[in-house]
Every structure is written in C-alpha cells, then in structure tokens.
Structure 1
Amino acid sequence: MSTNRVESKLSLPVLLLKIKSPKPLTGSTFKSPLEALMKIDDGSVIGLGQNHMIKDYQWEQQDAIFRSTFQMHLEKESEPDSKEEKPSHAVFHFLLPDRILQLGPELKAQPDVPIGISVHWKGSHNLCLYLLTRPPKEKTDAELKPDIVWPCAAPIICSAVSSCSSYLTLACEDGTITVWDKCQGFPLSVTALPEGCLSRAIHFLQTPTAPSDQLPSPKVQLLVLCTDGSLHLVTVSKLRESRIVLLADRPEDPDQTISAVAPIPALPGAVLVFSWDGTVCLTDTATPQTVCHFITPPSHTVASPWQPVFTLDTNSQCLLLRGDEQQQAGLPPQTKYNQSSIFLFYFNSYQSLEVFPAVPEPPPDSLQYLPWEERCDIFLHERLQHLPRVSQQIPECWSQLRKHAVALQRESRKK
C-alpha cells in the first residue's frame, strides 16, 4: 500500500510587535507641568497615566488617609505582603477593521485579515489596542505605545470577540459586562451580574445572519461562567436592553462544579459543559436542559477535568476530547505517565441533536462580512432615504422647543 506524502514548508516567523506590560504608576519626576506636557504626544489618544504630576509624598498621603479611614475593612481582608514581582498575564484578540481601530488612507484592509490586536493584563483597568501595520521606520525594539486605550472603571477579568469581529465584550471585577459594537463605534449595553457573581469566562453565542440588504441586528447573546460555578445567559436586544437567564446554579456537590464551557457554532443554542467529576454534556440554552452526554470508555477518563483538553473541528461537527487511561485497581501505581488517547464524538450520530436548527449559509453579500467602509456607505444611503421624513419632523420639533422655551420664561417671571 502506497501513501502519498505532502510536504509543507512553513515560513520563518516575522516579528511584528513587541508589547510589554505597562509599568506601575510611581511618583512624578517632572519639575513643572510644561515638562510633563512635552512628554505627551499629539493628545489624540488617551494614555496610560504615566505622564502625571503626582509626587511620591502625595501618593503616601493619600494611602495613609485611605488606610486610616478603612482600617477596619483592611484588617478583615488583609493578605500576606509579598514584594516578589509576579509575572504579568496578558489576554489578546485579533481585530478586523472597524470604526474604532482604523487604518490610514494610504493602507487598504483585506477581507478576513486582522489589522490589530486588543490586549489587557491581569489587574489592569485599561484595554490597549495596537495596529499590526507599523511604519517601516519604526524600531521594533522601542517601547511600543498603544494606538487606542480604553479605560474601565474596574480591572478587566476577561474579554471576548465575536466570530464576525463586530462585537467586543469586557467583564470587570465590579460585576459589569460591557458589549461594544465595533462597527458603529459605541457601547451596545452595560449589564450588571447578580450580586456576588464574578465572571470567570465569557463566550459569544452564534446569532442569525442579517439579510443582505440590512445592517447587522445588534442582538448579542453571551455565555458567562462565574467563579462560583454558576452559568448565565446574557441577551442584549436592539434597544440596548439586557436580560440575564440563569442556566445552571451553583451546585451543592463540589464535584459537579462547571470547569469549562464551549459554544458550538454549527448548533445555535448548544453549549458543551465540562464538570470537575469528568462529566461532559451538551446543554440547550433555550430550555435549558441537558440534551446528551459524551462518555469515554470505562478504561479511560477525561484528562484533567478541572481544565479539560478538547477542541472542535473546523466545521464544528466533531468533538475531540483527550482521555487518560485509568489506573486499574489492585495494580501498583505506575511511575510513568498514563497513556492518553483522543476520542472523537460526531454530532451527526446523535439523534437528540436534531432539536437544534441548522445554521443557514450566510449570503455572499451579507453586511456582517463586508468591510466597514462599505457598511458606512450603506448606512449613509439609508439615512439619505429617510431624509424627507426627517425634514418633515424638524418644524414640529422646533415648534415644541419654542413652546417649551415660552413656558420656561413664564415660570422664571413668576419667581
């Protein structure tokens, strides 16, 4: 039996960016405000707060006032002091062109090719956005400054980007989840989780594709896994209203705590749920009920169920799950690692999965997959079509404003 071997050659990696975590804020070394202003660029981007005029003694005074005021709470929640520098943990996402992260007029974006990345570090309030296309004269070894900085009210815990790169969501330590519409350039909603719940992982669910002659409908569904093991479904509607549905409450048995979740793009509303006890099930977010279980052979168990190793194929039609061989009872423990295997579960072989609707093929000219320049042209065209109706409403609005102004003048004269 002959086999055809296909040789593939990979190109050498090319350094595009070298990003370092922001330095901690320290006392200012500037002697005058003018010297601090000289360090600021053109002022078009909000910085990371490094160029300030706060001295070391001012930081110490504020810290002393804070500790004297909240000494009681600090003693209850005191943590052991550690002066060792902990390694920074960064989370990043690739971004497609949009109104927030734009290329210059001399560069043209290619479809489905990312132009930038978003990065946030553990414990940081800022989301930093960097363009992948740098000027050729710029040194790669120089300390790179972000092109855009999004400051948040609380440290960012986790983040996610939708598959079409139209939406970006940030979950913070204060229990809020913000969804940004990257195509329009404004936040779609700000949702507060129930009291005591903090996000541990967040995922976008598959939403229906908009027709080719309409802009993408701003209906977003998020799957939020919290630190207490509860699972929530957050739905954001067109009117910027959000709704939270509890899919799974905190279990009484610690072994049933959810360790990981993963949506299945090919099955809208279907979510894979992994538990600490090695259970792997598929849940319907519309019900929410367990549809089926994926069970390994008796000779194997799910590898590291608290952090399972799994993936989906490119078409989301198959689950690949790693399983470790179980130690047989009565045998001495092996010194070497147990043999691991990869198990394949084909979703088409489960009749119970027929309850999920099939994902329709998106039209080739769907606006969700068009560049943002073409989306803007279509948006402006729709606005021009509505211009006659808006022109008719302007005189009525002016008349209402005049009546309101007259009423205010009368009230002011009475006073």
Structure 2
Amino acid sequence: MEAACNAEKSRVEPLRLSRAAQLPESTNCLTCSEDGRYLGLGHSQGLSVWCTSTLTRAADWLQDRLEITSIQMTSMAETAYLLGTIDDMGVARVFAYHCDTIHLLSVVNIMDDINRRSVCLTFELSHGGHYGAATISCNGAVWLEVHHFPSETWVKELEMVVTQMQEHNSSGDRGLKWSPLSVATTIKPPNITAGTTLEGPHVVQVTDFLTYFSALDVDTRRHREKEQSFDTNAEKRKQSNESTRYCTQHFLLPCAQFPGERTAKPQRGLPVAVCVWWIGSHNLLQYLIKKAPKNEQAYFLLSDLEPMPDMLWPNAKKILCSAVSRCTRYIALGLDNALVSVWDRQTGSQLSVVSMSATDCAISRIQFADHWHVSTDEVHLLLVCKSGAIHRVTTGRGTKCCTELLTERPKDSGGLPTSSASVPFLQSTFLVVQRNGKVFLQDVIDKTPVRCLIPPETHLIATPCSPVYALNTKRQTLFIRGDQDSSYSATPKEDKDGQSHLLVFNFGESDIIKQFIVSPPDSPQREETQSFVSLEEACNLYLQQRALSVAERNKALAQTWKQLQEAAAETQPSCS
C-alpha cells in the first residue's frame, strides 16, 4: 500500500523554487499589500517592508527586545500603506509606510496604569485602512474596540514629513505629532439582566427578540455550568472559559436595506458595520460603526452608553467559525453538529442551512471561494473538519445544496491540514499545508493534487503547524518561510547563511498551472450590491426578481410534482 501511495505521489510533478532570500531572525509573520508591490515582515526586532520584485528591504522599524507576532497591511493611498501589528507583550500598533520610511502613527492599547494592563488578542484592519478592530483583555474582562483612523489626514501629514525631510536634509519626523485615532464603538459580551429566564410561559414580542435570543445563550451557558458542577475541575474550567471568551468580528460594506445602512450616498469601500459573535454563543450580532463626535463632552456621554446591535441572526447551534464573502453580502457560519448556516444581508434572511451528512464532521474552519462562482446566485464554501477532511459546499437561493468531499481524512496525524486557502488567481484550486510540512495545490474538479511545492533540499517548511506565508495575487506568487534542515550536512558557510529563508514559488512558471490562472477581481465589491434608501425600493427589487424567475420556478415545481407522483406510484400496492 505504501508503495502504491508513493507511486501516486510520484506522478504529481513538483513545482520547484523560483527564488529565495535570507529572512531577519525569528520572522513570525508575513503579509502582502493588495497591489502586490510590498511584503510586510514581523520579526524579533520589529518589522520590515520588502519590495516583492527584488526581494530587498525597502525600510525597517527596529526596537530592541520587541517581537512582532502578527502583522497586516493595506493601502491608504497610491503610495501610502497602513500596517497593523501585535507584539509578544500584546501591544497593538499602527504604522505607515511611505517613501521608503516606516512611521509609528499610534499605539492602540497604551498602558497608563500598570495594574490595569490591557492585552490585545487580535487586531484587524479594514480594507483601505479606515478602521481597525482590536480585541482587548484586561483583568479577566474582554471587549472589542473599533477604532476610526484619520487616513486622509495621515496621508497629508506623511506628505508634510517628506517635504520637511527634503527641506532640512534629515531622515526623521522632526517631532511631528500624528493625528490621534478615535474609538468609534466599544462592544462587550451581551449582558442579560439577572433573573431573566425562559422558564414558564413566555410571550415573545417583536421588540424582545434581542433579549429573548440573548437569554437563550445565558440559559445554555447555565446548563453547561450545572453539568460541570459535578466535575472536580469545574472551577478551573469555568475560569478558563471566562478568560477565553473572546470574539470574532468581520467588517461589513454597505449592502442591505436596514435602517442603519440607509445612507443617501454611501461611500464606496467604506465599512458601515461590524458583525460579531462570542465564543459559546448561538447569535451573530451586527453593530453600526459611527464616527466619534467632534464635541469632546458629547463623546464622553456616548462612550458611557453600551451600544446595542441593530441586527441579530439567531442560530440553532453554537457557532464554531465564520467567514464573510468579498462583497460582505453573505456571512457563513460553521455550527455545532456539523451544520452550516449562510445568511444573506441584502434580504436579511437565511440563504440556506446545510447539514453535513459525513460522520465525524466537526467543522473547524470555513472559507468563501468567491472566484469559483459560476453563477451570481451560487455560493461556494470550503470546510475544514477537525478530522482533517476538506469539503466543498455549493448552495444558493432556490437551488439544491451540494456537498463534495475534496480531501479524505488522513491516515496519520502528519497529513492533517494546518492551513488551507483558496487561491484567487487559480480557478477551482486551493492550497494545502500539512502538519508534516508538505505543501500542494489541489484541483477541486478532479480532486487530485495539481503540483507539490518542493523546498530546496537544505530547507524545510518552517513551523508547519502554523506556517508563515503570504499569497501575492498580483504576481501570482507564494511566499513562505523555510528553515534549514538540521539533518542536512552543511558547511560552516552554508550554516551561517542559510538559517531561515523566504522561499518564493511562482505559479506562472508551470505550464500545467497556467491553465488554472484567471484574472482575480480587483475590488472586494466585484459582486455589485444594492443599498436602498427605503423599504419600498427593497420590496420593488424583490418583486422584480421574483417576476423574472417565475418560469424557472414553475419548471422546478413541475419537476418536483412529477417526482412525487412517481414516488407515490411506486409505493402503492399493485392490484391483484
């Protein structure tokens, strides 16, 4: 059997290394700009920006005893880029890269009081650098802060710095004080009034939906706590659950007809809301993003008020993972009991609920594959299960849900996929990194590997359980960190120069891969969405769509009725 497996693998031609460059010490994270021009690297002494065409350093921001563990990059302007980082002490920072210089713009969670040390758990930048969402933990409490970035002002200030540097022939900011960021909203876990239960007769009013479904979460949590009360380690588990009750959030673009999104002239590409779910919760919540008022007194009055969600999407089971489509119209949730729920923000209703029939299908990750769309009415998802199996789900409004097994459960733990991602510039193809360090491209249609990505014999894929890599969509390239193989007998010179390298795989160099290459969408709003000023406009569009699809729906109804008649005829006993 092993010989047969090796023979099968040998038929998959490898994709050899295109280029390589030595990385800074302890490079923990990589990111790539949307235009494909630059790479952002976080390492043990700060961060660096590299040019992707030459693999040379464009700028550094270095600080002793500081290690960057997370980095993101987005374009503020044509020549200005925003970087968001988290270091090993949980401090989040915002940088700007402009004219071959990295500038520190702001520290998100400044520790003024040592007794109230706040730690940033996650930090996400919105596309275009208008907002940043930081999950903050302090003394056991966890909350989400959405910050508004003065991007336009920062770009002007960066231009001023360039002018000053040219006039004074210097290389510093000359004491420039950057415009501060502001907190647009602070979101805490839903807090239900003590004594609120669902026991006894409970009449639900429309205005009580938020309280009702939030109370369902509370009752579920109480039920779990009662079950844990019989465990000797219940107290430790309870403390652990409280300390890890963080949230997952996604920025949302204008899409729906809900009151909070009824803007006369919505700014294209600017997020208007954020959707949030907390670990252990059944509910997906949507909060509007509102800029902080210029009046300082009004800001402090609003900051004391806890924001209320303007939308709530309840689910029958606990949420395990989530993903948002590029246009942010669709939100997919991986639920407990192998359920997948897809919500449509434009209609405010569920697009579909898919039950995975496969056994042992506990969902661990979910992802949209927008570039696989054959029809605008179809939604394609990639599901990764805890068992290591990978499934493809195709669903849509009025269409039959289809699930396909792309990769079976591996026979050993080394074959578990630690990272999987659809590749925007390769049609119906996704990238898989396994725990044993193997990297390959998988074809969705044939369900077979297209190419194996082979590092040089002197190196192995670094930290395969959490690979450090970035996909460059514009240059159709994969950047991934490789560490020197300790078993390779290297000379002292090779040992000195080859500790950790940036490995570059250019997919366009393979003739077989070329047939999969497509032009990816330039904007996350490739799928045009509608913003409605009134509910009447939304109803009119819905009725127009129904009128256009009447023939197709009648055909589907007739086919279903025919199948029911045939099934009924087969079940009827024959007359003797």
Q: Provide the secondary structure at the position in 2 that maps to 1:139.
A: helix
Larger RCO: 1 or 2 (CA < 8 Å, sep 6+): 2
Residues 1:372 and 1:348: Cα distance change in structure 2 (over 3 Å): same
Q: 2:319 is aligned with what amino acid?
A: I
Does 2:342 match 1:179?
A: yes
Does 2:407 match 1:248?
A: yes
Structure 2 residue aligned with 1:348:
508
Does 2:361 match 1:197?
A: yes
Query: Which of 171, 182, 189 is the equivalent residue of 1:14?
Result: 182
Question: Which digits, 9 at most, give the CA deviation of each residue in 1:135-176, with x for residues without a partner?
Answer: 734623433322222221111000101112121111111211
User: How far apart in 2 are the matches of 1:370 and 1:43?
Assistant: 28
Percent of pairs identical after alignment?
Answer: 28
User: How far apart in 1 are the matches of 2:466 and 2:243?
Assistant: 22
Q: Provide the secondary structure at the position in 2 that maps to 1:47.
A: helix
Structure-2-length-normalised TM-score: 0.53
Q: 1:142 is aligned with what amino acid?
A: L
Tell whether the 8 Å contact from 1:25 to 1:50 is kept in structure 2 after alignment.
Answer: no
Residues 1:149 and 1:7: Cα distance change in structure 2 (over 3 Å): same
More strand by share: 2
Query: Which of 201, 210, 222 is the equivalent residue of 2:381?
Result: 222
Residues 1:156 and 1:354: Cα distance change in structure 2 (over 3 Å): same
Residues 1:327 and 1:223: Cα distance change in structure 2 (over 3 Å): same
Q: How does 1:259-408 map to 2 (within 5 A)?
A: 259-315=418-474, 317-328=476-487, 339-356=499-516, 358-359=518-519, 368-373=527-532, 380=540, 383=543
Tell whether the 8 Å contact from 2:425 to 2:473 is kept in structure 1 after alignment.
Answer: no
Tell whether the 8 Å contact from 1:99 to 1:182 is kept in structure 2 after alignment.
Answer: yes
Gaps of 5+ in 1: 211-215, 332-337, 391-415
Structure 1 residue aligned with 2:280:
123
Question: Which digits, 9 at most, give the CA deviation of each residue in 1:377-398, with x for residues without a partner?
Answer: 69836956987999xxxxxxxx
Residues 1:22 and 1:79: Cα distance change in structure 2 (over 3 Å): farther
Aligned-pair CA distance for 1:287? 0.8
Residues 1:387 and 1:129: Cα distance change in structure 2 (over 3 Å): closer
Tell whether the 8 Å contact from 1:264 to 1:270 is kept in structure 2 after alignment.
Answer: yes
Tell whether the 8 Å contact from 2:192 to 2:215 is kept in structure 1 after alignment.
Answer: no
Tell whether the 8 Å contact from 1:160 to 1:202 is kept in structure 2 after alignment.
Answer: yes
User: How far apart in 2 are the matches of 1:7 and 1:254?
Assistant: 44
Residues 1:289 and 1:8: Cα distance change in structure 2 (over 3 Å): same
Q: 1:43 is aligned with what amino acid?
A: T
Question: Which digits, 9 at most, give the CA deviation of each residue in 1:72-122, with x for residues without a partner?
Answer: xx99xx683224232322111111112265536566321111111111111
Q: 2:286 is aligned with what amino acid?
A: L
User: How far apart in 2 are the matches of 1:379 and 1:207?
Assistant: 29
Structure 2 residue aligned with 1:408:
none
Residues 1:248 and 1:171: Cα distance change in structure 2 (over 3 Å): same
Aligned-pair CA distance for 1:237? 4.2
Q: Which moved more, 1:118-127 or 1:42-51?
A: 42-51
Residues 1:169 and 1:209: Cα distance change in structure 2 (over 3 Å): closer
User: How far apart in 2 are the matches of 1:200 and 1:219?
Assistant: 23
Q: Provide the secondary structure at the position in 1 that maps to 2:540.
A: helix
Gaps of 5+ in 2: 1-57, 59-97, 106-153, 155-179, 491-497, 551-576
Q: 1:311 is aligned with what amino acid?
A: A
Q: 1:46 is aligned with what amino acid?
A: L
Structure 2 residue aligned with 1:91:
248
Tell whether the 8 Å contact from 1:284 to 1:291 is kept in structure 2 after alignment.
Answer: yes
Aligned-pair CA distance for 1:315? 2.5
Question: Which digits, 9 at most, give the CA deviation of each residue in 1:289-336, with x for residues without a partner?
Answer: 1000112222221121112121212437111111222324689xxxxx
Does 2:351 match 1:188?
A: yes
User: How far apart in 2 are the matches of 1:135 and 1:379?
Assistant: 33
Tell whether the 8 Å contact from 2:369 to 2:381 is kept in structure 1 after alignment.
Answer: yes
Q: Which moved more, 1:13-22 or 1:189-198?
A: 13-22
Q: Provide the secondary structure at the position in 2 that maps to 1:43.
A: helix
Tell whether the 8 Å contact from 2:319 to 2:333 is kept in structure 1 after alignment.
Answer: yes
Structure 2 residue aligned with 1:140:
303
Aligned-CA RMSD value? 4.2
Tell whether the 8 Å contact from 2:471 to 2:478 is kept in structure 1 after alignment.
Answer: yes
Query: Which of 65, 80, 87 is the equivalent residue of 2:233?
Result: 80
Residues 1:323 and 1:386: Cα distance change in structure 2 (over 3 Å): closer
User: How far apart in 2 are the matches of 1:285 and 1:388?
Assistant: 32
Q: How does 1:13-92 map to 2 (within 5 A)?
A: 13-23=181-191, 26-28=194-196, 43=207, 46-47=210-211, 80-81=233-234, 82=236, 83-84=238-239, 85-92=242-249
User: How far apart in 2 are the matches of 1:388 and 1:226?
Assistant: 39
Structure-1-length-normalised TM-score: 0.72
